[in-house]
Amino acid sequence: TTSGAMGSKTIVFVIGGPGSGKGTQCERIVKKYGFTHFSSGDLLRAEVASGSSRGEELKAMMGRGDLVPLETILKLIKDNIASQPDSKGFLIDGYPREVQQGIEFEKVVGSCTFVLWVDVSQDTMVKRLLKRGETSGRVDDNEETIRKRLKTFVDSTEPVIKYYEEQNKVKRVDSERDVETVFADVEKIFDNLQ
């Protein structure tokens, strides 16, 4: 079933905890399958980098490990999707992070084809983020914020997985393993789409 402005285009929501490997897998998917990739975190960091006063507020929220307001992130994603009318499909990475974000997106943009759930233990997430924090310069890759991001994931984003599981739309990959091994499982999912 399709709805909204997108007709029958493939829309994949990529969901996983902080440091689960979503961004990493999305890069590979784009290279192999040619989807258009939007990372909600990258879009927000670009907004922060623009130096607007709005950006300053967003930076503070992200630095606390909080979710930014639904309207802000939905508008960024919607505008970016609208700018790529010829794309064959979209990977929406890091969105929805709360059930309401999913509901609003499907109302105004289009229905999600499936959810790719990049699943990994909390211990592994913390380890990967601390390692990245040594070089990333990200305001949120420090121990205190990482703990808060994990809590936000459990409280707000795990219900998203449940919401789409009830619609039989979730495809899970075990991201505990190295990047190539995880991607081999991702390939099985995307090969079956063609």
Closer by beta carbon to ligand B4P, 8 or else 82: 82
Does residue 188 interact with ligand B4P by CB under 6 A?
A: no
Does residue 146 interact with ligand B4P by CB under 6 A?
A: no
Listed ranges 30-38, 39-47, 158-166, 186-194: which one lies at the site for ligand B4P (CB under 6 A): 39-47
What does the alpha-carbon distance between residue 59 and residue 48 come to, in Å, rounded to a whole number? 6
Count of C-beta atoms within a 10 Å radius of residue 49: 10
Q: Which of 10, 160, 175, 190 binds ligand B4P (CB under 6 A)?
A: 175
Alpha carbon separation from 164 to 29, 65, 107, 114 (Å, rounded):
21, 24, 15, 8
Name the one residue in this structure whose structure tokens are 């999600």: 112
Nearest Cα neighbor of 186 from 8, 9, 22, 17 is 22
Size of the site for ligand B4P (CB under 6 A): 30
x-or-dash string of contact with ligand B4P, 96-115, rule CB under 6 A: -x---x--------------
- Residues 62-81 touching ligand B4P, rule: CB under 6 A, are 62, 65-68, 73
Alpha carbon separation from 137 to 27, 57, 101, 125, 156 (Å, rounded):
20, 18, 28, 17, 26
| Contact set with ligand B4P (CB under 6 A) | 18-24, 39-41, 44, 61-62, 65-68, 73, 94-95, 97, 101, 128, 132, 140, 149, 175, 178-179, 182
